[in-house]
Structure 1
């Protein structure tokens, strides 16, 4: 299994998740799963086999976060 390469954008995304995760869980429309921790959400979003299939609106809760996910 190839380890995830950490980039500046991923760091920003992860920090944003950590900051917001207490407000509400994140729900992935693609696989119908709720993410309850920042790490769980982050790993879910950067999973290469899944990530490429996630539409821009898959994650809700924060407009800026949704845009970041969509633009990654």
Structure 2
């Protein structure tokens, strides 16, 4: 039940349409940009990374600091 509350809070605080808007401002593979982004949303870095991973926008190995773009990440170009 706690994971459901966490998921709901993440969706509420970081809606996909707002994340899509922010996507054009930030590099999702850059930790400095992710920290700026989490400050804008008022969430922890863990919450932001988890939300981006759940959307399949990023892939992050917890044993590594490297972040890669996921398959579902929106294009950086506005169409």
TM value normalised by structure 2: 0.30
Largest Rg, 1 or 2: 2
* Greater RCO, 1 or 2 (C-alpha within 8 Å, sep 6+): 1
